[in-house]
Amino acid sequence: MDLSAVLFDRDGTVIVDRHYLGSADGVELIPGAGQALGLLRERGMAAYLVSNQSGIGRGYFPESGWHECQARLQELLAAFGAGFEDARFCPHAPEEACDCRKPAPGMWESLKKEHGLEASRCAMVGDKVEDLLFGVNAGLAAAVLVLTGKGAACAQKLGLDEALIRERGFVPVEVELPGACGSGTRLFAATDLAAAVRGLLAL
């Protein structure tokens, strides 16, 4: 698979899910994430962040909290020679019915327009069904569900074999995703971000 970029969810995928994180003090990389993102950069591939941040819309923390966390995340990743080329976040609460909250492809469309990304050369990695749907709705080449964060619970809900995923690290999966409005996206599951990156690079 000739990938040029990978899009990542943040909470539960790249960093530990703190549940409505609005303070830089709570930013903690999931083990292996920094090294994996560093490997992507070594291979000449871009990394982008796409994150639903309904805590802003719900009034739990200000938008400045997102920017503070993002700055801290980039600082932590820099120690691994890694970082995100760009990031998008949806600040809306679910009931606002915006077009940027995953699984809607609004954040993808924004990144695609600004950076000239090609869907056929991009993949998505996240810990929720919404992340898989985001990849499908955007028409990306691949979407990967990781078992960190809320991923294990999502895998169970989708009827995936968690033991097999943990044994092999990265496996193709066939699941029905309700609400999907695209096709052709290859779906996978991985133990964590590091396994997802290794698997994508091996395709």
Q: Mark whether 9 is an active-site residue.
A: yes
DSSP state of 20: S
Tokens 């930013």, located at residue: 27
Strands 170-172 and 186-190, sheet pairing: antiparallel
CB 3 within 8 A of CB 44: no
Q: Which token pair is 147?
A: 């078992």
Which residues are CB-contacts of 159 (< 8 A; sequence separation ≥ 6)?
A: 175
Q: Are 145 and 131 in contact (CB under 8 A)?
A: yes
Verify whether residue 25 is a known catalytic residue.
no
- To the nearest 10 degrees (0 to 180), the angle between helices 33-42 and 193-202 is 30
d(CA 139, CA 151): 21
Question: Which residue is catalytic, options 2, 11, 127, 161?
Answer: 11
Active-site option among 9, 17, 131, 192: 9
What residues pair up with 11 in beta bridges, in sequence order? Answer: 15
The closest of 129, 121, 145 to 196, measured between CA atoms, is 145
Residues with a known catalytic role:
9, 11
